[in-house]
Amino acid sequence: MRVLLAIWAAKAAAAGLRLLGRAGTHVPGLIARTIHPGIIGAIRHPARVVVVTGTNGKTTVSNLLAEALEGEGLRVASNRNGSNLAAGVAATLIGAVSWTGRSRADIGVFEMDERSARLVLPGLRPDVLVGMNLTRDSIKRNAHPAYIAWIVSSALSTETTLVLNADDLIISSLGEELNERVFFAVDRLPTDGDRPTGAAVDVAICPVCDHVLDWDYWRFNHIGKVRCSNCHFQSPEALYRATAVDGDRVTLSLDGDTRDAHLINDSVVNIYNEVAVAAALDVLGIERDRIIAAFDRIQPPTTRFDTDQVGQTRVVRILTKGLVGVACSRAFDYLRSFAGRKAVVLTIDEVSERTTEVENIAWTYDADYAYLADDSIGQIIVGGVRRHDQALRLAIAGVDPARIVTVENEIAAAETIGLDDVDIVFNLHSVHNAVITGTPVQRRLLERLGRRA
């Protein structure tokens, strides 16, 4: 009866929020967990459950997985809105059952915040957990990523199959020998290096003998393929790999079965996302022809990446996850790969003009702002409460101060940026302001360019 009371209260709250025109995606879960703290474990689950976690990529991968599985005719329960704490997972589970508690979904795909593992995993007991990466995150809430790996491992069921990134020594350690584990990776790319550089490197020594690691290839942070010349420790062998990238095509090796697939996006982060999706679908038993076909129709959420063309000018929208220096570095580095004259609207201010919240800005020094000192970037318009902190960080990183303009309002940055002699305008925003800032900035840039066309 307590489970039913939690379900009824949560469903009633969700209905009320919809009538009021409010999202409140986690509120029904909060109510349910207040009535029954163990509701995640007590409620009926879909027949199969997949969890996606990690510092970066979990929203994109969980959305892509859900979309691919729906394409197979399955009824999918998924927290696609990104409410990935315990309350959000509970709300999604409740949304997937009837008023009598009967499950109406064939499979559940849940994005899970890695810090929530102990509140989610023991009750959810997923069949498959996809681990994307564990890199340096917000210092307000996370410690070293190895500590986060310990949190996740301590909450795992031994019955869960782990699909892990072999190129990340931290997340690839999850479960150790207790769980069935398969690995995915991206083979060496032309842009890879042979030794770590940059602002943040979280793994440098062998976890077995403390000897300095050697790198077969290094990609970013601690992501790459390593070996120890002292004790012969090395990165795990990956059954699932992206072996080559050519234009909008990627070659995938699925446990030795080589297939050519559409590349959903050419950033290295999304190459990892694609091979992770392929690995998870294969572990779930989806036919490989169907896996490859899925990449012709599924795309990353537009709040993560989108591109529009007006006349000769492109407007590229890229999620630049503030508080997470490694994620910002990836966005800044990806920006450099585009040819042409560039301008940047930078609104990764984590307080989002809410003066009641203050975030330590030390994370900006874990990000490689030096990538934005590229000569092809003629102007950077910085908007928001932390605009002066961002401008200082840019200047320290070598960006010419003459190219930096600060504006108080985030959206006003779209009005301030000059559009003459620009081939590409980048709209870099964070997670929290993807809708309230990223979307109107994109719209305003397109409107301005449309009037000029």
Name the residue type at position 136: R
Per-residue pLDDT, 95: 93
Given a cut of 60, whether residue 355 has pLDDT beyond it is no
- Averaged pLDDT score across all residues of the chain: 92
Given a cut of 70, whether residue 23 has pLDDT beyond it is no
Q: Which domains does the chain have, with CATH numbers?
A: 2-294 (3.40.1190.10), 305-452 (3.90.190.20)
pLDDT tens for 222-244 read 999 999 999 989 999 999 999 99
Which of these, 430, 369, 435, lies nearest to 56 by C-alpha position?
430
Residues 405, 408, 410, 411, CA torsion sign:
negative
- Name the band, by pLDDT with cuts 50, 70 and 90, for residue 93: very high
The CB density around residue 24, as the number of other CB atoms within 10 Å, is: 16
The pTM of the full predicted model, rounded to 2 decimals, is: 0.89
Mean pLDDT of 138-157: 88
pLDDT tens for 292-347 read 999 999 988 877 889 999 999 999 999 998 888 888 999 999 999 899 999 999 99
Q: How many helices (H) and strands (E) does the chain have?
A: 13, 17
Given a cut of 50, whether residue 2 has pLDDT beyond it is yes
Mean pLDDT of 270-289: 97
Rounded CA separation 342/376 (Å): 6
- Name the band, by pLDDT with cuts 50, 70 and 90, for residue 353: very low
Per-residue pLDDT, 356: 58
- Name the band, by pLDDT with cuts 50, 70 and 90, for residue 362: confident
Q: SS3 breakdown of the chain: % helix, strand, coil, rounded to 5?
A: 35, 25, 40
Which of these, 51, 107, 111, lies nearest to 74 by C-alpha position?
107
Give SS3 for 366.
helix
Of residues 385 and 34, more confidently modeled: 34
Q: For 253-294, give the DSSP string.
A: EETTEEEEEE-S--SHHHHHHHHHHHHHHHHTT--HHHHHHH
pLDDT tens for 150-187 read 999 999 999 999 999 999 999 999 997 789 999 999 99
Per-residue pLDDT, 351: 59
How many residues in the chain?
A: 453
pLDDT tens for 28-77 read 899 999 999 999 999 999 999 999 999 989 999 999 999 999 999 999 99
Given a cut of 90, whether residue 138 has pLDDT beyond it is no
Strand ranges across the sheet with 342-347: 305-310, 313-319, 424-429, 342-347, 377-383, 404-407
Rounded to 5 degrees, φ, ψ at 40 are -60, -35
Given a cut of 60, whether residue 352 has pLDDT beyond it is no
Given a cut of 60, whether residue 358 has pLDDT beyond it is no
DSSP annotation of 92 reads H
pLDDT tens for 397-419 read 999 999 999 999 999 999 999 99
Q: Are 419 and 313 in contact (CB under 8 A)?
A: yes
Which of these, 305, 332, 113, lies nearest to 220 by C-alpha position?
332
pLDDT tens for 185-221 read 999 999 999 999 888 888 999 999 999 999 999 999 9
Per-residue pLDDT, 94: 95
Given a cut of 50, whether residue 117 has pLDDT beyond it is yes
